[in-house]
A and B are shown apart, each in its own frame.
Chain A
Amino acid sequence: MGFEGIGASVRRKEDHRFLSGRGSYTDDINRPGQLYAVIRRADRPHAKILGIDTAAASAAPGVSAVYTGAELEADGVGGVPCGWQVHSKDGSPMAEPPHPVLAIGKVRHVGDPVAVVIAATRQQAKNAAELLVIDYEDLPAIAAVRDAVAAGAPLVHDDVPGNVCFDWHIGDKAIVDAAFAQAAHVVELDLTNNRLVPNAMEPRAAIGDFDRSSGEFTLYTTSQNPHVIRLLMGAFVLHIPEHKLRVVAPDVGGGFGSKIYHYAEEAIVTWAAGKLHRPVKWTCDRSEAFMSDAHGRDHSSKAAMALDAQGKFLALRVSTLANMGAYLSTFAPAIPTYLSATLLAGVYTTPAIYAEVKAVFTHTVPVDAYRGAGRPESAYLLERLVDVIAHDTGLDRVAIRRLNFIPRDAFPYQTPVALNYDSGDYQATLKSALAAADWDGFPARRQAAAARGKLRGIGISTYVEACGIAPSKLVGQLGARAGLYEVANIRVHPTGSVTVLTGTHSHGQGHETTFAQLVSDQLGIPIDQVDVVHGDTAKIPFGMGTYGSRSLAVGGSAMVKAMDKVIAKGKKIAAHLMEASVEDIEFKDGRFSVAGTDKSKALAEISLAAYVPHNYPIEELEPGLDETAFYDPKNFTFPGGCHICEVEIDRDTGTVTVANMVAVDDVGRVINPMIVEGQVQGGLAQGIGQALMENAVYDSEAQLVTGSFMDYQMPRAHDFPPMITSTENTLCTHNPLGSKGVGETGAIGCPPAVINAVVDALRDYGVRHLDMPATPQKIWSIIQANQPRMAAE
């Protein structure tokens, strides 16, 4: 075997399965006697349901059942729960209006599920669903946060006045106000973080199954965290105890956050399977996904920075309206608050920060975490604001960042907004990125572009984010209704191969390889002797799933802890077998040896002795070599770095082309550099997508205009330049791996770098700010609007 341990760019073990069509995704699974569910959804944003005539649908060929909210309510089915409770400034808990699995009384967004038809084939279920007659009385609707908080706005929930879910704040307002009063300059910026549709390649799907002999339910679902789904659906919605509910999340084709949440369809198929004693499958259409997968972002903010005469940041004030959509998705309240406002120090020493967040209901699809989850919003706000400060004050964009960086010797660094950064070196990532992007050579490239009739701009962002959200005690105080530890079970088999059972979940991240490398490195066995198992509550002891770039930092750390236990037990067995004292046993490269002698035994010999304990310290030690660890981190991890983007604008059409994209990220210890590079590239693709292309648009009546790829601009491969990525590695100080997380860095650091580059390209046109996405029409309009002024000058 070549080197396969920590630091090796091993090819992904799972790719052959995926690329040769042998993956097993939820829709690939078919259970004997399976029925098909099709959901009839609201085609309007806000209406009273006056009646639902199910007669024709029920009588249609192949139909087993038609259910509406009334049947589920009568059977005691609960609403979809929210997993995070935020309190308002005045201490009152957030408004948490009911979120019925199928609409009761009213529909509140286009796509709100109203009824389900279950039939022998999907085609028959679709046919019958069209026969449902729903009598609506339309009501006025709002989609934009500013409309939702306007006086007299239609209410999404009758008992939530002003549509305000909560009005939260963080930081010390008095100190911030005082700093503003003393400031040499104050720079203000209003900006919007555009709403996105996640669009994982695999649409969501769910199969409910019920075993009449055991009374056990099984849900197969496209989920990033099956144990959390079991907890939420079992405890709050269907009232099934955990030991009678198994949740399987098999191969999952992308999530980006959208598959974290517990969705109504999961409860519908599971409940229906129990009613019908037949498996029930639901598979989402792409069009259906646009109006039923939780959307991302959609923040509208006002920011102001107070500065001294030299450009040192004195205080930051931010006020944000965050769109929650029509109902609270699982983690929605945490996104604009504890995952966004707490990052507003960024990489800077700003001593005083005050942020307010008003979360607002609208007649739109619920909004929740999407790759980056709150940190892209704060990074975008801050990094745009820093560029606008440079614009307004005339200070250099790089110099002002350097001036305000948290110095490398200041860690651990306590920010004024709760977080305590453990490590980082922002000067190092900046220096490396400036070199990789040839920042100093830009003026010549701009001139060369001008000669070709193009406008060229360069933009930079220096960011920090927070991953592996923890510890459980803290997040509990912040309102999480779950712990945020992770679980690993290391099962060394009798002949020395290893199965790793992890509570994290892989849906594209390459865990089967990264974790196998980690085990290979620690236990000294080849990676083909290691299998990683995830995504099944019947196999994995417990777990909190994958999101927030937590899998390696938290899940991998749990593996290290479990392997420590394996090695400790192995040493005792080895000491017995080699008649030495435990203190003299060393474990290295897969062998237990007696220090100072040539006596040693391989891991496989020790495991065989553990499972065939003929010669074994049976009085002191149980047989077997199978260890589990629960790891609850001491803190978040804080990846950070510097992204630099270079763009060219076609003046005639307004088209922006990304000419160069550099990302230097400090992600702590890297296990597989190739996988890290792939993660960064994917994040950058989504970052460039948000900055230039993607935008979920609702019209003034709250109809979703961008309901398909005909109108929602998904990036294509050819939209991206070659990406230059590298890492700097300051280690996380509080987990055993020193790893920080990489899944979201691209999506967090990139968008402000792109927009900063676009604004820089337009600097001769008097542009101070523009909102994402920078579409050709928007750029052309700006150029048009500013030409007369240019001429006048």
Chain B
Amino acid sequence: MYDFNYTKPSSIPEAVQALGADMEAKALAGGQTFIPVLKQRLNKPTVIVDLSELGLRGIAADDKTVTIGAMTTHHQIESSPDVQRLVPGLAKMAALIGDTQVRHRGTMGGSLANNDPSACYPAAVLALGATIHTDHRSIAADDYFQGMFTTALEPGELITAIEFPVAEKSNYEKFRNPASRYAMVGVFVAKTAAHGVRVAITGAGQGGVFRHTAMEEALAKDFSPEAITGIITPADGLNGDIHASPEYRAHLIGVMARRAVAAA
């Protein structure tokens, strides 16, 4: 990696100030994507702002919502009894990310800020209609994801927490990229009081996470795998690479969605 300065602020205002003061400053959450990127010299920050001492770790739940601090690790999410009980699909998703080491370091906030098109969490956030809380505002999931590696976050803006509605139904099925084991196709199905049935797809789309409205309409009428069996997902706009053509990804969306619904 290139040389950089390092700072570990102890309050959100200090962190925001440090990130805002320098256009080349970068925030460090769990570092499970960012550190490898640095090691490969694909990024050259002047200063790294470590977010680990901002008190952003933890899970709070009531009968309507589950709120997860941005620096909460995948492991904490997968093993939280509240998440398991209130949004089981989210706990399952967290348990399927990376390996044990990654899950003990990687964070939900870091993943969402990066918005890698093959990351898992964007599918849960979009399908559940979660709210992204930042240091100065709240952003609805529908407004947050703006394409591959692009979000509604302004420069220097920090995610502080993610608020999920309690789900009537939630489940996630992922087909891993055979090499990287990231989601090649990930499908999150959810039914919530506020948003009804939603189906969000990650890993497959050229523009990152997206909603599958045809499946949503069918499942709203009949929440069963049979209801979406005949739905053909168009391959247009899907990624193609050596591991999966757009057509194969389109097919896998159907398979993963049916499996997710069947076990939701």
Contacts and interface: CB of A to CB of B under 8 A. Distances in A.
B40 to A, nearest CB: 7
Interface size class of chain B, counting residues whose CB lies under 8 Å from the partner chain:
10 to 19
B179 A652 contact: no
Given A705-B242, A706-B242, A777 B248 contact: yes
A775 B177 CA distance: 11
A776 B178 contact: yes
Interface stretch (A110-118, A623-631, A709-717): A709-717
A781 interface: yes
Interface of A: 123, 126-127, 287, 652-653, 693, 697, 705-706, 709-714, 716, 775-777, 780-781, 784
Nearest to A714: B179
A557 B242 CA distance: 47
A709 B248 contact: no
Which of A126, A652, A706, A775 has the largest count of B CB atoms less than 10 A from its CB? A652
Interface in B118-170: none
Given A653-B175, A653-B252, A776-B175, 9 more contacts: A123-B3, A126-B41, A127-B2, A709-B179, A710-B179, A711-B180, A711-B242, A714-B179, A776-B178
23 contacts: A123-B3, A126-B41, A127-B2, A287-B40, A652-B255, A693-B178, A697-B242, A705-B242, A706-B179, A709-B179, A709-B180, A710-B180, A711-B242, A712-B179, A713-B178, A714-B179, A716-B181, A775-B178, A776-B175, A777-B243, A780-B248, A780-B251, A781-B248
A713 B179 contact: yes
A254 B78 CA distance: 36
Nearest to B182: A710
B40 A777 contact: no
Interface in B174-201: 175, 178-181
A308 B243 CA distance: 42
Contacts of A712: 179
Contacts of B179: 706, 709-714
Contact of A777 (B2, B41, B180, B244): B244
A303 B241 CA distance: 31
Nearest to B244: A777
A652 B255 CA distance: 7
B245 interface: yes
Contacts of A711: 179-180, 241-243
A570 B179 CA distance: 59
Interface string B223-264: 000000000000000000111110010011001000000000
A714 B178 CA distance: 9
Contacts, number: 39
Could you tell me the dominant secondary structure of chain A's interface residues?
A: loop
Given A693-B178, A711-B179, A712-B179, A777 B245 contact: yes
Contacts of B175: 653, 776
Contacts of A776: 175, 178
A709 B40 CA distance: 13
Interface in B71-117: none
A780 B184 CA distance: 15
A287 B36 CA distance: 12
Contacts of B178: 693, 713, 775-776
Contacts of A705: 242
A775 B243 contact: yes
A344 to B, nearest CB: 32
A653 B180 contact: no
Contacts of B251: 780, 784
Contacts of A653: 175, 252, 255
Nearest to A130: B41
A698 B40 CA distance: 21
Nearest 7 A-B pairs (CB), nearest first?
A713-B179, A710-B180, A652-B255, A713-B178, A711-B179, A777-B248, A777-B244
Interface in B1-30: 2-3
A697 B241 CA distance: 12
A730 B53 CA distance: 66
Contacts of B3: 123
A713 B176 CA distance: 12
A748 to B, nearest CB: 24
A697 B179 CA distance: 13
Contacts of B40: 287
A8 to B, nearest CB: 36
Contacts of B244: 777
B113 to A, nearest CB: 21
Contacts of A709: 179-180
A10 to B, nearest CB: 32
Contacts of B242: 697, 705-706, 711
A123 B39 CA distance: 11
A123 B38 CA distance: 13
Contacts of A697: 242
A697 to B, nearest CB: 6
A213 to B, nearest CB: 38
A709 B179 CA distance: 6
A713 B255 CA distance: 23
A781 B251 CA distance: 11
